[in-house]
Amino acid sequence: MATPSGKTPVPGPLASKRALPRDPSSEVPSKRKSSAPPAPPPPQASRPFVEGSIVRIVMENFLTYDICEVSPGPHLNMIIGANGTGKSSIVCAICLGLAGKPAFMGRADKVGFFVKRGCSKGMVEIELFRTSGNLIITREIDVAKNQSFWFINKKSTTQKIVEEQVAALNIQVGNLCQFLPQDKVGEFAKLSKIELLEATEKSIGPPEMHTYHCELKNFREKEKQLETSCKEKTEYLEKMIQRNERYKQDVERFYERKRHLDLIEMLEAKRPWVEYENVRQEYREVKLARDRVKEEVRKLKEGQIPVTRRIEETERQRHNLEARIKEKAIDIKEASQKCKQKQDIIERKDKQIEELQQALTVKQNEEHDRQRRISNTRKMIEDLQNELKTTENCENLQPKIDAITNDLRRVQDEKALCEGEVIDKRGEKETLEKEKKSVAAHIVRFDNLMNQKEDKLRQRYRDTYDAVLWLRNNRDKFKHRVCEPIMLTINMKDNKNAKYIENHIPSNDLRAFVFENQEDMEVFLKEVRDNKKLRVNAVVAPKNSHADKAPSRSLSELKQYGFFSYLRELFDAPDPVMSYLCCHYHIHEVPVGTEKTRERIERVIQEARLKQIYTAEEKYVVKTSLYSNKVISSNTSLKVAQFLTVTVDLEQRRRLEEQLKEINRKLQAVESGLIALYERNKHLEHKDNELRQKKKELLERETKKRQLEQKISSKLGSLKLMEQDTCNLEEEERKASTKIKEINVQKAKLVTELTNLLKICTSLHIQKVDLILQNTTVISEKNKLESDYMAASSQLRVTEQHFIELDESRQILLQKCKELMDRAKQVCNLDAEQTIPQEYQTAFRDLPNTLDEIDALLTEERSRASCFTGLNPTVVEEYTKREEEIEQITEELKIKKFELDKYRENISQVKERWLNPLKELVEKINEKFSNFFSSMQCAGEVDLHTENEEDYDKYGIRIRVKFRSSTQLHELTPHHQSGGERSVSTMLYLMALQELNRCPFRVVDEINQGMDPINERRVFEMVVSTACKENTSQYFFITPKLLQNLPYSDKMTVLFVYNGPHMLEPNRWNLKAFQRRRRRITFTQPSQ
């Protein structure tokens, strides 16, 4: 909405006034911000508003408006303003202020988008005319929450209540026949006939017309359902009746068979009762036998009572005797313990005598030993004295000791020197081992790099990798040297240059094995390709080596173009590989350049005359045309290197291997030196030990004399002590004899006491044996009584077992009686407490009374029943069900037909109330519509269209128009008529509704945009004449421009919308002054 001045416009308020007839210059500018407070509305007599018309519209921070108040007139309100000034904003305010949905405007789906940009809140207030008092609806919009707050007459309320109030005034902002916003004009022509009828009914029809239409559609839908249901049920009922007639004879045969089956059922019902009676008789007999055996058991138990008492008496005697035996045993035990105590005391006395004798013997032995030791010591002293005399005659040994000491010192010096050399050798060995470990680690790192190459080969070319492994294990099969795949043998000097080699040598050759001999290659391919089925490549190097072949041009000549090397100088490879690559790929002739080469490429191609060139990122191939002799070049971007980026310095690895061999040789020499030093050290150690032994012997000879003198002195001291330690054996023997006599006296007294105790113990044993014999007699008597008791008990057990068997038989029979009774009652469908019904008793009298007769009759009846074959009980069930279903369906059909008749009656009544007024209404619309078109020298027709009179949901209003006399009437569609024709048709249809309209106002936004000037003038005249009649609803006509010299009416209200950067401030705007000034200008123009 840019203005000519380039500033962002702020929409101004609207000025409301009566139009100046036929004065196109009577435009009244609107004011920026808010205008002066509006004048109070005129009385009803001068401003005939209809119920629900809009009296006032207030907008704050709404779309393009800061604050604005609009006061429309009761008839035609023409809102005029340039595009973007805010005309449609008023339409949006009407829609949203009357609880319309934002999406209906076609602008935005959220109400918050209608608030002016930069503001957090907006407000729309609509005042509607109502005879009982105007209705003021206020809608406040919160942008952040996208919520609306509603007020009616300044009191808070809900949107639902607002919608109810608006609907009560017959305001339908969603109905295109009443409210046609700018973005929805095109949709009016797209309305189907059915939708147009519905919109027309809601807009101008009586309130009950649309309701009747909806009821008719619902009634018709239910009528269709009932007709379908009645038809289906009638057809189904006829089929059911026909099917039952076919199965009637089978049903009669089934019932004949059922009579036999009923007799069988009755026989089967009586049979359990007969079985029950037979078992019940058997139960009575068993019960009598059991009672007889029970009496016999009672008599046997009474006969066992005296025997039991006798056994109990003997048991008491046995207990008494055993108690007395235990008492005697206790007495015997006490006497035996006393005897044992006396024996122990006597044994201790014997032990005392023995100890005295042993002590005397010890003293005697000690004395003898002392005498022996004294004799031995004297002899030893004599021998030591003789040896001492011999030792004093030996020569002086000190010179020999000194000589041996000097020799020993010399040997120790040599030994220390040897150990120092060993330490040096060990240090040298450790140093070499560390150096060896470091070199080996370097070699391993080189091998790891090589393994990386092999891993890449294995991942990309598994067959080639397997062939490499086979070659390493079978090199002895070849006469000459065989090189592994070129990608493994090539070693880049700088891995940055790997891309040149990989782009120059094809991948098939990079993974090829290189042979020096054709025969070796054939052996290899036969084994690998034919036998192992591996896909590998192999090549033969030239017989004459090309590895050292010089390039045709020296590199110094090419450096001016930025070349720094030939391809051959970028890597190392075995001689056969290098020779093959020089021969076939001329790597000694292909130079490699830099970015400088790329910058001068045209000059390089023309002057250098090279066939292949590499720059930093591209490869150039230069050819000369055989026909025109012109130089032709092509370039390709270099691919990223994949295999040769891993660089292994083979020369350094070779040097490391030689260094490792030299370290191993030095280590071997150090080991040999250490072994020699260990042998020399061992020899010196042996010599040192010999000298020490000799020196020890001489020192021992020198010290032997002193030792002998000390030993003699020590022995003399010991002899003196032994001679002083004497013992009187006779006195000791006398003391021991006296003590032994005293002990023997005590011992004799103890023996006498022991003899008396043994006599008492013997008497107790005899008494105990007598009691044991008595106890044995009692036990024997008891055993005899128990044996008699066991015999009687055995007979009692047999009798009791017989009783138990009879009782079990009784219980089994009783249980069987109960089961048969239950079964019989179950067969007769009787409860546990019920007796046999009278009908069963009557039926049972005519049936046999024995099981054999019943079984014979059952067999006969079953045979008769089996003659009725091919009868399915489900047929009878289905027959019965169908009979019941026929009755049920007949009743349902009667109800459905009654409902159908009732619906038809309702449809007839509602149809008469709906269709006749609708036809009259459409006829009136058609009359107005046709008149409008006739006045424009065109033809138009509106009719009520339907294909089937009973399909009320297919009724619609059809608009047919003709704008040229040479054509026929055509239905108004979005495709047949032009945009202007559709606009004219839409406008005229809405005008036809105007006088018939019962809605309080109608809004049409910029519908004249597609019309040509003639049609626009005609339509405008019709709008003015129609909308300005008495008792018509309020009309809003929005347009950005008008033609000149249009007819106007005094009842029109023209609302001008101005905006722009040079608008007057609200406090400076004076409508009356502006009108006076306008009149003065108008009056002075003729005199000029």
Give the global pTM.
Answer: 0.38
Contact between 84 and 10 (Cβ < 8 Å): no
> Residue 411's CB: how many other CB atoms inside 10 A?
20
Profile the chain (1088 residues) by mean pLDDT over runs of 10 residues.
32 36 35 36 54 90 86 88 83 87 76 86 91 90 88 90 85 72 60 73 69 75 77 80 74 72 72 77 83 82 80 84 85 84 83 82 79 81 76 62 81 82 83 81 70 80 91 90 88 86 90 92 91 91 88 86 89 90 91 89 84 89 77 86 71 75 85 85 83 77 71 78 72 80 82 83 84 84 81 81 83 80 71 66 73 77 68 71 80 79 74 75 76 76 77 79 76 72 72 67 72 75 78 82 82 82 68 79 60
The closest alpha carbon to 290, from 794, 814, 821, 819, belongs to: 814
Residue 205 is predicted with a pLDDT of: 67
Distance CA 137, CA 152 (A): 5
Task: Name the residue among 583, 577, 580, 549 with its Cα closest to residue 650.
Answer: 577
- How far apart CA 704 and CA 320 sit, in angstroms, is 96
Question: What pLDDT, on a 0 to 100 scale, did the predictor assign at position 582?
Answer: 93
CA 490 to CA 402: how far, in whole Å? 78
Cα 635 off chain centre by: 53
What does the alpha-carbon distance between residue 979 and residue 973 come to, in Å, rounded to a whole number? 10
Are 415 and 688 contacting, i.e. CB atoms less than 8 angstroms apart? yes
Going by C-beta distance under 8 Å and a sequence separation of 6 or more, which residues neighbour residue 488? 450, 453, 454, 457, 468
- SS3 string of 590-627? CEEECHHHHHCHHHHHHHHCCCEEECCCEEEEEEECCC
β-pairing, 537-540 vs 512-515, is: parallel
**Single-letter residue type at 129:** F
The SS3 call for residue 20 is coil
- Residue with the two structure tokens 């058609």: 926
Which residues, including other chains, have CB under 8 Å from residue 454's CB and lie 6 or more apart? 465, 468, 488
Are the C-beta atoms of 558 and 609 separated by less than 8 Å? no
Q: Do the beta carbons of residue 31 and residue 13 sit within 8 Å? A: yes
CA of residue 1029 relative to chain centroid, distance: 74
Closest by Cα among 29, 93, 64, 37 to 1056: 29
d(CA 915, CA 285): 99
Alpha-carbon distance 331 to 763, whole Å?
A: 11
894 CB-contact burial (10 Å; exposed 0-12 / middle 13-18 / buried 19+)? exposed
Structure tokens at 264: 């069988």
In this structure, what token pair is assigned to residue 187? 């949709």
Q: Is 1045 helix (H, G, I), strand (E, B) or coil?
A: coil
The span from the CA of 213 to the CA of 225, in Å, is 18
Amino acid found at 680: R
Q: Which is it for strands 618-624 and 612-614: parallel, antiparallel or unpaired?
A: antiparallel
Angle at 429 (CA atoms; ends 425, 433), nearest 5 degrees: 175
CA distance linking residue 785 with residue 315, whole number of Å:
11
Among 45, 82, 87, 35, CA closest to 1036: 87
- In terms of Cα–Cα distance, which of 964, 974, 1006, 1007 is closest to 989? 1007
- How many C-beta atoms surround the C-beta of residue 746 within 10 A? 12
Count of C-beta atoms within a 10 Å radius of residue 880: 12
- Residues 230 and 893: beta-carbon distance below 8 Å: yes
- Tokens representing 22 are 């036929």
Single out the residue of 894, 895, 897, 953 nearest to residue 227, CA to CA.
897
For residues 113 and 89, the answer to whether their CB atoms sit within 8 Å is: no
Give the HSE-up count for residue 395: Cα atoms under 13 Å, Cβ half-sphere.
5
Tokens 């239905």, located at residue: 971
Type and span of the H or E element at 355: helix 305-391
Give residue 3's pLDDT: 30
Cα dihedral 97/101/104/105 (nearest 10): 40
Q: State the pLDDT at residue 746.
A: 80
Position 513 scores a pLDDT of 94
Q: What confidence score (pLDDT) does residue 40 get?
A: 41
Segments in 828-872 forming alpha helices (H): 838-845, 851-866
Question: Is residue 85 a contact partner of residue 25, using CB atoms and an 8 Å limit?
Answer: no
Single-letter amino acid code for the residue at 726: T
Name residues whose C-beta falls within 8 Å of residue 158's C-beta, 6 or more positions apart in sequence. 150
CB neighbours of residue 182 within 10 Å:
19
Sequence length of the chain is 1088
In the DSSP assignment, the letter for residue 63 is T
The helix or strand, by DSSP H or E, that contains position 807, with its residue range, turns out to be helix 729-827
* Main-chain dihedrals φ then ψ at residue 155, nearest 5 degrees: -110, 135
203: left (phi over 0), alpha (psi -120 to 50) or beta: alpha
Q: Regarding beta strands 76-81 and 147-152, do their DSSP bridges make them parallel or antiparallel, or are they unpaired? A: unpaired
1037-1055 burial: b if 16+ Cβ within 10 Å, else e: bbbbebeeeeebbebbbbb
d(CA 272, CA 279): 10
Note the pLDDT tens digit of each residue in 345-371. 888 888 888 888 888 788 777 778 878
CA geometry: angle 662, 668, 671, nearest 5 deg = 140
Give 682's contacts (C-beta < 8 A, 6+ positions apart).
none
Q: Please state, in angstroms and rounded to a whole number, the distance separating the CA atoms of residues 516 and 487.
A: 18
Q: How far apart are the first and last CA of the chain?
A: 39
**Contact status, residue 653 vs residue 467, Cβ threshold 8 Å:** no
Which pair of structure tokens corresponds to residue 588? Answer: 């000694």
3-state helix, strand, coil in the chain (%, to 5): 65, 10, 25
- Kindly state the helix (H) or strand (E) to which residue 940 belongs, with its residue range: strand 939-945
Within 10 Å of residue 628's Cβ, how many Cβ atoms? 8
Contact (Cβ atoms closer than 8 angstroms) between residue 1003 and residue 1023: no
- Mapped onto helix, strand or coil, the DSSP state of residue 12 is coil
CB neighbours (10 Å) of residue 611? 13
